[in-house]
Structures are given as structure tokens and as C-alpha cells.
Amino acid sequence: MTTTDFRLGEAVGYMVSVVSVEKSEAFYTQLGFHKLDEGNSLYNWARYSDGYILLLLHENPAQGLCYFSADMKKVIAKLHAEGAPFDHRFTLAKDGFELLVTPNQLGISLVPLNPEHLGNLGPVTAAAGKFCGVITLSKDMETDAKFWQTLGFKIEAGGKGWMGLYDGRMRLSFTKRESCPHYFEGPGLTYFSRDQTQALTSLSSKGFQFHETPNFGETGPIRHAIALSPEGQTFFLFTEAFDFEAPKTGLPN
């Protein structure tokens, strides 16, 4: 695929800024992420996968979505010409790396790298559910929809207090804080299945500590859980009855 097919890049992953890759790793491996590789170029970093998404932990401030393309310089030049908002504090000019600013606490890193060099995601090893996408808070749904549509996203679904968008690579969901009767700070990664009871019970039996287990008025065993990484990355591991396909992030298994 070329960048004419996908506005921001042919493949996407998710970056998490950590104080120490080594100290944060245990949390992610408990959730089923396996290490792909690691290095130390300017700062420590390591790449992981759970078979659904590429996750980059790095000791660098940049956080959020990370798009890759061999033609990224052209993508960046076009976005600059259109007046897209960039955060130049995190620009690495010599590497051609730039960071887009969004209204939703969700950074977008644009990396000039052919996705073929990233390798495969490997087998699905996620510990609780199927990856659905990234969810974040919205102050103004209409404004956010217009912003993300300029970046190639299309409205996929919506309802009272929420909406979902997809660009063919990553699914984003937006919700109002008042619509969430549970913990929600910053963008979160969502994992759903028709019944998370067994997966969540298994994690708990292995000593995994959940930040919150909202019951949404239900009784019985745990069916929903919120996990919080050492650096504050949120994971929503919820039981949901709808069918969906995991986002096609552009990287093969």
C-alpha cells in the first residue's frame, strides 16, 4: 500500500513513554506482550507485540500513535503545507521524525521508515480479549471529528456521548468524561471479548493487580477490569457483546 491509500502511513503502532523500560516490562508481559527487539539509540527502547499491535516502550517523552512509511517525508511536507499542528519540541530533524499535536492528549509520531523493516507481530498472545483500538476523552465531538477526518479517519459508529473513527489502520473511540462511571485518565488501549471472566480470573490468580474492576450494576465474578501500567498507561479489559475485527495495523503476524 502507498500513502495515497493511508493518509498518515502504511502501518501503525503505539508508543508509551516510560521512566525505565526494564522496570515497566513485567506489567506488559503479564498482559501477553512478547519482546520483539530492543536497543539504545539516544535512549533505551524496546518493541513488543501481543499479536494485535506493535507496542514501543521508550525512555523519551513522545507518546501515542506511531505511523510508519517509506514516503513519510512527503506525508509530513503535505501536512505542513496544510497547516497541521506539529510539536517541534520532539522533532528529530536529522531522522525526519515529527510529532503531530491533537486535541485529545493523543500524540501522533510520524516516522520515515518502511514498515517492512519492522518485521512481523508474531502470534496472538494477548492475555484478555481482542484489541479493539485506542479510546480517549473528548470535550467537543464535532470539533474532534473534523480534526481527525482531515487526517484520513472516517466515522465508523456513534451514539450518545461517544463516537468511533477508523483510518484503515487504527480504530479510535472518543467519549465524554461524564459518560464514564469509572477511572479514565488519558488515552487507553481497549481489549474486548464476549466474556472476560476466565481471562481476568486467570490474571488475578497470577498476582496481577487491577486498578479497578467496575461492575456496571452486575453481580457475580469479575467481567470488566481496568489495568494501569507503572507509567500510567490505561488498559480497558471489558466484556462486550458486539462482534468486531481487530484493526489491520499494517504489520503481518
The tens digit of pLDDT for each residue in 90-119 reads: 555 556 788 898 998 899 999 999 999 999
pLDDT-derived band at 2 (thresholds 50, 70, 90) equals: very low
Cell of 179: 459518560
Of 2, 27, 1, 36, which Cα lies nearest the Cα of 209? Answer: 27
pLDDT for 115 equals 95
pLDDT for 4 equals 37
pLDDT-derived band at 241 (thresholds 50, 70, 90) equals: confident
pLDDT one-digit tens code per residue, 48-85: 999 999 999 999 888 999 999 999 999 999 999 999 99
Contact 62, 15 (CB under 8 A): yes
CA distance 158 to 122: 32
pLDDT for 246 equals 94
Of 246, 242, 223, 226, which Cα lies nearest the Cα of 234? Answer: 226
pLDDT-derived band at 42 (thresholds 50, 70, 90) equals: confident
pLDDT for 90 equals 58
**Mean pLDDT score, 213-240:** 92
Entry pTM: 0.92
Of 174, 148, 145, which Cα lies nearest the Cα of 161? Answer: 174
Of 12, 2, 120, 97, which Cα lies nearest the Cα of 56? Answer: 12
Residue reference for cell 466474556: 195
Beta carbons within 10 angstroms of residue 68's beta carbon = 26
E strands in the chain: 11-17, 34-41, 43-49, 54-58, 64-69, 98-100, 107-112, 130-137, 154-159, 162-166, 171-175, 188-193, 225-228, 234-239
Say which CATH superfamily domain 130-239 falls into: 2,3-Dihydroxybiphenyl 1,2-Dioxygenase, domain 1 (3.10.180.10)
pLDDT for 95 equals 64
Cell of 67: 505511523
- Amino acid identity of residue 193, one-letter, is S
| 11-118 CATH fold | 2,3-Dihydroxybiphenyl 1,2-Dioxygenase; domain 1 (3.10.180)
215 pLDDT exceeds 90?
no
Average pLDDT across the chain, whole number: 91
136-161 core/surface letters (b: 16 or more CB in 10 A; e: else): bbbeebeebbebbeebbbeeeeeeee
CA distance 102 to 85: 8
> What is the domain partition of the chain in residue ranges?
11-118, 130-239
CA distance 16 to 60: 9
Domains 11-118 and 130-239 fall in the same CATH topology: yes
**Mean pLDDT score, 192-206:** 96
By DSSP bridging, strand 154-159 and strand 171-175 are unpaired
